[in-house]
Amino acid sequence: MKIFGHRGASGYAPQNTISSVRLALDQGSDGVEIDVQLTKDNEVVVCHDWIIDNVSDGKGKVSDFALVEIKKNDFGSYFLEDFKGEKIPTLSEVLEFFPKDIILNIELKIKGKSRDLVAEKVADLLLFHERIENTIVSSFNHSSLKKIKKLIPEIKIAFLYKRCISTINKDISDFGMDIYSIHINAKCANKEIIKEIHNHNKKVYVWNSNDIETTKKLYDMEADGIMTDFPIDMKNALWKYITNKSKN
Ligand code: G3P
Ligand code: MG
Distance of alpha carbon 64 from alpha carbon 135, whole angstroms: 29
Give the per-residue pLDDT at 113.
Answer: 77
Instruction: Determine how many CB atoms are found less than 10 A away from the CB of residue 128.
Output: 10
First to last CA, the chain: 20
Instruction: Tell me the best of 159, 203, 227 to mutate to test the pocket of ligand 1, counting ligand atoms within 8 Å of each CB and taking the most.
Output: 227
| Residue 33 contacts residue 99 (beta carbons within 8 Å) | no
Instruction: Tell me the best of 4, 48, 181, 184 to mutate to test the pocket of ligand 1, counting ligand atoms within 8 Å of each CB and taking the most.
Output: 48
| Residue 87 contacts residue 62 (beta carbons within 8 Å) | no
Instruction: State the closest ligand 1 atom to the C-alpha of 140, by its place in the atom list counted from 1.
Output: 5
> Residues with catalytic annotation?
6, 48
162-to-57, 140, 152, 185, 248 alpha-carbon distances in Å: 29, 8, 26, 6, 37
Cα(166) to centroid(ligand 2), Å: 22
Residue 136 Cβ < 6 Å to ligand 1: no
Distance of alpha carbon 220 from alpha carbon 83, whole angstroms: 37
Per-residue pLDDT for the chain (248 aa), expressed as one digit of tens each? 999 999 999 999 999 999 999 999 999 999 999 999 999 999 999 999 999 999 999 999 999 999 999 999 999 999 999 999 999 999 999 999 999 999 999 999 998 878 899 999 999 999 999 999 999 999 999 999 999 999 999 999 999 999 999 999 999 999 999 999 999 999 999 999 999 999 999 999 999 999 999 999 999 999 999 999 999 999 999 999 999 999 88
- The model's pTM is 0.98
Ligand nearest to the backbone CA of 205:
1
Residue nearest to atom 4 of ligand 1 (CA): 6
Cα(33) to centroid(ligand 2), Å: 6
Instruction: Determine how many CB atoms are found less than 10 A away from the CB of residue 177.
Output: 12
Residue 109 Cβ < 6 Å to ligand 1: no
User: Residue 118: which of 76, 146, 85, 99 has the closest Cα?
Assistant: 146
Cα(200) to centroid(ligand 2), Å: 24
93-to-53, 65, 141, 164, 174 alpha-carbon distances in Å: 22, 18, 24, 35, 35
Residue nearest to atom 10 of ligand 1 (CA): 48
Cα(247) to centroid(ligand 1), Å: 35
13-to-18, 50, 80, 111, 231 alpha-carbon distances in Å: 9, 20, 8, 26, 12
Residue 6 Cβ < 6 Å to ligand 1: yes
Distance of alpha carbon 157 from alpha carbon 71, whole angstroms: 29
In degrees and rounded to multiples of 5, residue 191 shows phi and psi of -55, -40
